Amino acid sequence: KQEVTQIPAALSVPEGENLVLNCSFTDSAIYNLQWFRQDPGKGLTSLLLIQSSQREQTSGRLNASLDKSSGRSTLYIAASQPGDSATYLCAVGGGTYKYIFGTGTRLKVLA
């Protein structure tokens, strides 16, 4: 049974810092992995999608890596801004349809 864990559960950093969010999964036979952002009281915004055959994806200040053999993905945020404050969720695709979500990391970037 796939289990997805995100560490840390909460993170508070000063503006401008580079930071790393971690996502671990127990079953390496994944289809893909997707990182989302959720603002308070809002829906999920897709940030990056990594296929199982890929090692990383980049979008702007965001870089997500995937290491299937070790069951890990990291989301790197460069030069963090207060607008980056949100909850970040990773979701592991175990098949075409099914996603298992992690518990999320609540990020607060202080001005």
Where do contacts with other proteins occur on this chain (CB under 8 A)? 32, 34, 36, 38, 41-46, 49, 51, 87, 89, 91, 93, 96-99, 101, 103-104
CB of 111 to other proteins, least distance (A): 24
Q: Which is nearer to other proteins, 44 or 62 (CB)?
A: 44
Residue carrying the six token digits 């990383």? 56
CB of 30 to other proteins, least distance (A): 12
Beta strands in the chain (DSSP E): 4-7, 10-14, 19-25, 32-38, 44-51, 56-59, 62-67, 72-77, 86-93, 99-101, 105-110
